[in-house]
């Protein structure tokens, strides 16, 4: 029998560890599946490419999560609240969209003590998912972004929003970098004169980027702030996505354990 095919779509996508995580699980569990990565420049071609390749499911990363939402026939669960999809599954020719990023992030910060206030840097798909989910958990969320247009949906949803121009460093329990600054370059997500006082006043920090020490994470370490990178979030969203891909074929704890092993590769 042909293996069930899965992929991650993004641009860039070569850095993604999702293929390692899912393939290690498939191999360990004896599941007849294969997961690859696909660089997609035009998000409008996601649906067509997905079906042309005969995929059963896929993850979506930067910058196509909003395009993925638009590409689906049906949206389930939390993705409806945020208009952002990171996991799609084919169901008899229909494309069903989900968001597993936000719960993956909650999984990642479960070791942090009570968080009441959060500064999210960035206003893309990840920021939309996290801001909505963290607010559902009762946290007070502020969003700061380089450009103003991307803040519009946050303004409409009643979040505190600021651009670099009017941002005043304040006190937050948790500061999260959800931008792609530092992913392919050495830039900081906020200008240094704004970022450093903000980090000095916070209790915890988290970066959505994984697999490298970003300039943001490096500043956190210099300042001795407890900080996590995006690997734990990746793991959390991956476990949830895999349950959707395989119709809950494996126990969630076992999935987490096996996927975590792939981080050593
Ligand atoms: P989007 O493209 O939707 O949003 C990117 C955001 O980053 C925008 O707000 C953009 O601001 C900002 N930005 C980009 N470059 C810079 C820069 N040099 N300085 C300041 N701001 C910048 O991306 P996503 O939300 O989908 O993903 C963001 C990051 O999170 C990626 O690095 C991705 O790999 C990571 N991620 C990790 C996950 C994990 O599991 N660990 C899961 C999901 C995402 P502007 O509007 O001004 O352009």
57: CA distance to ligand 1 center in Å?
23
Q: Looking at the domain that runs over 4-99+231-264, which CATH code has it been given? A: 3.40.50.10860
Per-residue pLDDT 10s for the chain (265 aa) are: 899 999 999 999 998 999 999 999 999 999 999 999 999 999 999 999 999 999 999 999 989 999 999 999 999 999 999 888 999 999 999 999 999 989 889 988 988 999 999 999 999 988 999 999 999 999 999 999 999 999 999 999 999 999 999 999 999 999 999 999 999 999 999 999 999 999 999 999 999 998 899 999 999 999 999 999 999 899 999 999 999 999 999 998 899 999 999 999 8
Query: Are residues 64 and 9 in contact, defined by beta-carbon separation less than 8 angstroms?
Result: yes
Query: By alpha-carbon position, which residue is closest to atom 46 of ligand 1?
Result: 147
User: 196: which residues sit within 8 A by CB, 6+ positions away?
Assistant: 219, 223
What percent of the chain has a predicted confidence (pLDDT) above 90? 89
Indicate the pTM of the whole model: 0.85
C-beta of residue 60 within 8 angstroms of C-beta of residue 68: yes
Report the topology of domain 113-225.
Rossmann fold (3.40.50)
Domain map of the chain by residue range? Answer: 4-99+231-264, 113-225
Q: Looking at ligand 1, which atom is closest to the CA of residue 128?
A: 25
Whether residue 149 contacts residue 91, with contact meaning beta carbons closer than 8 Å, is answered with no
Ligand 1 neighbour 235 (Cβ under 6 A)? no
Output the six-digit token pair for 21: 């995580």
- Would you say the CATH fold of 113-225 matches that of 4-99+231-264? yes
């Amino acid at each position: 029998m042909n293996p069930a095919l899965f992929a991650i779509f993004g641009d860039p996508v070569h850095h993604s560890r999702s293929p390692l995580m899912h393939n290690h699980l498939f191999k360990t569990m004896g599941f007849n599946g294969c997961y690859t990565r696909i660089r997609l420049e035009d998000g409008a071609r996601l649906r067509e490419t997905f079906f042309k390749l005969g995929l059963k499911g896929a993850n979506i990363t930067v910058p196509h999560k909003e395009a993925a939402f638009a590409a689906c026939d049906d949206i389930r669960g939390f993705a409806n609240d945020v208009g952002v999809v990171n996991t799609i599954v084919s169901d008899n020719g229909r494309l069903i969209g989900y968001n597993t990023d936000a719960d993956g992030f909650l999984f990642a910060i479960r070791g942090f003590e009570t968080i009441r206030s959060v500064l999210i840097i960035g206003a893309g798909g990840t920021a939309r998912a996290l801001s909505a989910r963290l607010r559902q958990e009762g946290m007070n969320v502020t969003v700061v972004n380089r450009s103003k247009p991307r803040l519009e949906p946050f303004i409409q949803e009643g979040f505190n929003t600021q651009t670099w121009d009017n941002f005043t460093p304040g006190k937050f329990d948790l500061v999260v970098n959800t931008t792609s600054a530092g992913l392919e370059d050495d830039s900081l997500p906020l200008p240094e004169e704004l970022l450093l006082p903000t980090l000095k006043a916070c209790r915890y920090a988290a970066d959505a980027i994984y697999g490298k020490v970003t300039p943001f994470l490096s500043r956190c370490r210099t300042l001795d702030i407890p900080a996590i990178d995006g690997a734990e979030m990746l793991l959390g969203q991956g476990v949830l996505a895999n349950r959707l891909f395989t119709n809950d074929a494996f126990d969630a704890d076992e999935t987490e354990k096996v996927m975590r092993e792939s981080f050593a590769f």
